[in-house]
Chain A
Amino acid sequence: SQKIEQNSEALNIQEGKTATLTCNYTNYSPAYLQWYRQDPGRGPVFLLLIRENEKEKRKERLKVTFDTTLKQSLFHITASQPADSATYLCALEKDSNYQLIWGAGTKLIIKP
């Protein structure tokens, strides 16, 4: 069955360092992958989309890589700040029908 895995343990990072989150998937050949941020009690907020033919995408302090051979995406936040503390979710399109399948998310904690 199709499956997306994100590290369920919280990631603690010192302010100013680079945070790296991982999204692994099986039994998919997605055309693209998306990353979202979610704060407690709120809906997810879209951050970045990367297509299967793109190796890397950047937006300000954010960088996403997409390795279709390894079936993995990495999400990096450089020069991390306490305000970056949140849960980060990855999502893939299922079967090209616009339905997204979501990982459970990784909680990121940036310590001052």
Chain B
Amino acid sequence: DTGVSQDPRHKITKRGQNVTFRCDPISEHNRLYWYRQTLGQGPEFLTYFQNEAQLEKSRLLSDRFSAERPKGSFSTLEIQRTEQGDSAMYLCASSPLAGGNEQYFGPGTRLTVT
């Protein structure tokens, strides 16, 4: 399977704990995106990488959120000191450098903060 993969698929954590999610994009895609989605809403942009450079970060993203893409391949999203409001589906997408920025999504990581 050469699609976007995410790990884990589900995560249940207690408030205050740190969590880290991983995304493996389609191998030839230079761009990588992280989104958050809650029920009944569209994806909400969190951050964007072109190769290893983080080029854009949402103003909505608090300092508790950090993302890395160290070698321009896989990416990690870490949430520190989780809050109940962080409960959501976290989606990763990748796209090629050429084209119209059509994005290919992974299955998502569903986070539940108790």
Contact = CB atoms under 8 A, between A and B. Distances in A.
A81 interface: no
Interface string B96-113: 000011111111101000
Kindly state the interface size class of chain B when it binds its partner: 20 to 34
Contacts of A104: 40-42
Interface SS, A side:
strand
B48 A103 contact: no
A88 B56 CA distance: 26
Interface of B: 4, 31, 33, 40-45, 48, 50, 55-56, 91, 93, 95, 100-108, 110
24 contacts: A8-B40, A32-B101, A34-B102, A42-B107, A42-B108, A43-B4, A43-B91, A44-B91, A44-B105, A46-B102, A49-B100, A97-B56, A98-B48, A98-B50, A98-B95, A99-B45, A100-B45, A100-B101, A100-B103, A101-B45, A102-B44, A103-B42, A104-B40, A104-B42
